[in-house]
Amino acid sequence: MVFPQLALHQMQEGRGLKPPTFTTFQYIGAAIDEMSSPTDEQIALIRLTLEGKKMAYPDRFEQEKLLNLHKAKMLVEQAFAMLSQ
């Protein structure tokens, strides 16, 4: 099989799928830092939301926004960790 070696060689040459540059990697880290960490109250609301408890409208929109922001930060942190390996 030739294609596995060809695929790895293409990556090493910077063709196709390739890792981000060091500068881009720093931007990802800066984005994680900028997102900060949830407060104790936000953690409690995130837990309640994950349990399926919903607030009344219009606060429910903000509740979902908080949960989505939390999930997004966790995924970015996961990506950052994977790219660090």
Identify the domain containing residue 31 by its residue range.
20-84
- How high is the pLDDT of residue 25? 92
CB 46 within 8 A of CB 66: yes
Q: Give the total number of structural domains in the chain.
A: 1
Residue 1 has pLDDT above 90, yes or no: no
Alpha-carbon torsion, ordered 27, 35, 76, 55, to 10 deg: -160
> How far apart (Å, rounded) are the C-alpha atoms in residues 70 and 85?
23
**Residue 33 forms part of a structural domain:** yes
**Residue 35 forms part of a structural domain:** yes
- How high is the pLDDT of residue 69? 98
- How high is the pLDDT of residue 57? 96
φ, ψ of residue 17 to 5 degrees: the values are -70, 130
Instruction: Say which residue the tokens 């997102």 belong to.
Output: 35
**Residue 79 forms part of a structural domain:** yes
Q: Summarize the confidence of residues 27-50 as an average pLDDT.
A: 97
pLDDT tens digits, 50-78: 999 999 999 999 999 999 999 999 999 99
Instruction: Place 5 in a pLDDT band, splitting at 50, 70 and 90.
Output: very high
For residue 29, count other CB atoms closer than 10 A to its CB.
14
State the pTM of this model.
0.84
